[in-house]
Amino acid sequence: MSTGRPRVVIVGAGFGGLACARRLRRVNVDATLVDRTNYHLFQPLLYQVASGLLDPSNIAKPTRSILRRVKNVEVLLAEVTSVDLAAHTVSTSAKVLEYDYLVLAAGSVTDYFGNESLRPRTARLKSLDESIGLRSRLLRCFEQAAVCTDAVRRHRLLTFTVVGGGPTGVEYAGAVAELIKHVLPKDYREIDFREVRVALLEAGERLLPTFAPRLGASAQRNLEKKGVDVRLHAAVKDIIGDEIVLDSGERFGAGTVVWTAGVRAAPLADSLGVPIVRQGRVEVTPSLCLPDHPEAFVVGDMAAIIGGDGVLPMLAPVAIQGGRHVARAIDARLHGRADPVFHYHDKGTMATVGRGAAVAQIGPIHINGLVGWLLWLFVHLLYLVGFRSRALALWSWAWNYFFYDRPVRLITTPPGDT
């Protein structure tokens, strides 16, 4: 494409990048959307892939197919290796892209708060491959435990520790607890399920710290009813041998450890040479561009956007609204209008705690239980891209609701890969 129109490069096909690309359809530019995967991933449902409820294709859709009708945006499958803000270029594994406007929406990665030795010892839930790998890993533990006559090793195989009491940790722990309570006992008659242990460790004083205390408490009761051992004030210091060591000095068996405790902006943020704030996020103006590079915008988890109560959280709606805002801002500049100011409309946050139970917080309204779950279901169906994904996710949720089943219990990754 060499139309003489301004060139936009968008880095990342997550919620922010995709929202921007879609909105650019009506803007007189040529854009390239770069991502290292060929799909847009509905990250909030990764835990349902990891727990065997959804197929990968229910929550991942090819980016090219989503943007089929957006003729002025081309899609590039490549890894971004560096951004040169002075030269207005983005280097990728495939080619170098020049831009007039840059939109950085590379998202976030798992953070170990400096203790990188935890990485090889833990599983993560940030990508599709990680979720499929975690599904295989969990099921393989049960297969091995079924034939294990060594009580110590069997105990290790049947212990699952989720670190981090935010939405991802709470949702995954709830899903695993239900898998263990309702589904696996029918499959593994050899296993005494009283030996299975699911623990959820949260460093702070309550679960779901970004929600109202009442909802965090409700989530905790719900998880405990499912048999999850919830530990508050339990900051993980290290994992030594097969033991988790807490800051308090307490130690206990780790088993399979899933780390959801920390996220930080994608490392690309650090490489820009611009001011970085908490969680590695990039400081932006009220119009979401870099103070010294107005042609470069940052949205989503990568951006530290000042909202009502401080920096806005790393949530899909923040990214989506940011992406749309940037498309509007570029359009405004092309027409010589002043930059619009970004305002985040908080439509609320929610987290499922398992079959038929969720917590939701919409401004002053706090909802839990079945009503929260139905609301959660409605909102997630709304945000899933495409009719097919919606229909199949609804089918899977109904299937789980009525049959207590997790049909995608496939071990597809070789042992070494998980």
- Chain residues that interact with its own copies, rule: CB under 8 A: 37-39, 55-58, 60-62, 64-65, 68, 74, 76-78, 94-95, 128-129, 132, 139-140, 143-144, 146-147, 186-190, 388, 392, 395, 399, 407-412, 414
Please report how close the Cβ of residue 147 comes to its own copies at its closest, in angstroms.
Answer: 5
Please report how close the Cβ of residue 418 comes to its own copies at its closest, in angstroms.
Answer: 13
* Single-letter code of the amino acid located at 415: P
Among candidate residues 79, 98, 143, 171, the one labeled active-site is 171
Nearer of residues 278 and 388 to its own copies, judged by Cβ: 388
Please report how close the Cβ of residue 356 comes to its own copies at its closest, in angstroms.
Answer: 20
- Helix H, strand E, coil C: the string for the chain is CCCCCCEEEEECCCHHHHHHHHHHHHCCCEEEEEECCCEEECHHHHHHHHCCCCCHHHHEEEHHHHCCCCCCEEEEECCEEEEECCCCEEEECCCEEECCEEEECCCEEECCCCCHHHHHHCECCCCHHHHHHHHHHHHHHHHHHHCCCCHHHHHHHCEEEEECCCHHHHHHHHHHHHHHHHHHHHHCCCCCHHHCEEEEECCCCCCCCCCCHHHHHHHHHHHHHCCEEEECCCCEEEEECCEEEECCCCEEECCEEEECCCEEECHHHHHHCCCECHHHCEECCCCCEECCEEEEEECHHHEECEECCEECCCCHHHHHHHHHHHHHHHHHHHCCCCCCCCCCCCCCEEEEEECCEEEEEECCEEECHHHHHHHHHHHHHHHCCCHHHHHHHHHHHHHHHHHCCCCCCCCCCCHHHC
171 in active site: yes
Please report how close the Cβ of residue 49 comes to its own copies at its closest, in angstroms.
Answer: 11
Nearer of residues 55 and 283 to its own copies, judged by Cβ: 55
Nearer of residues 58 and 368 to its own copies, judged by Cβ: 58
Nearer of residues 49 and 358 to its own copies, judged by Cβ: 49
Nearer of residues 64 and 155 to its own copies, judged by Cβ: 64
Please report how close the Cβ of residue 264 comes to its own copies at its closest, in angstroms.
Answer: 23
Nearer of residues 186 and 345 to its own copies, judged by Cβ: 186
List residues with catalytic annotation: 171
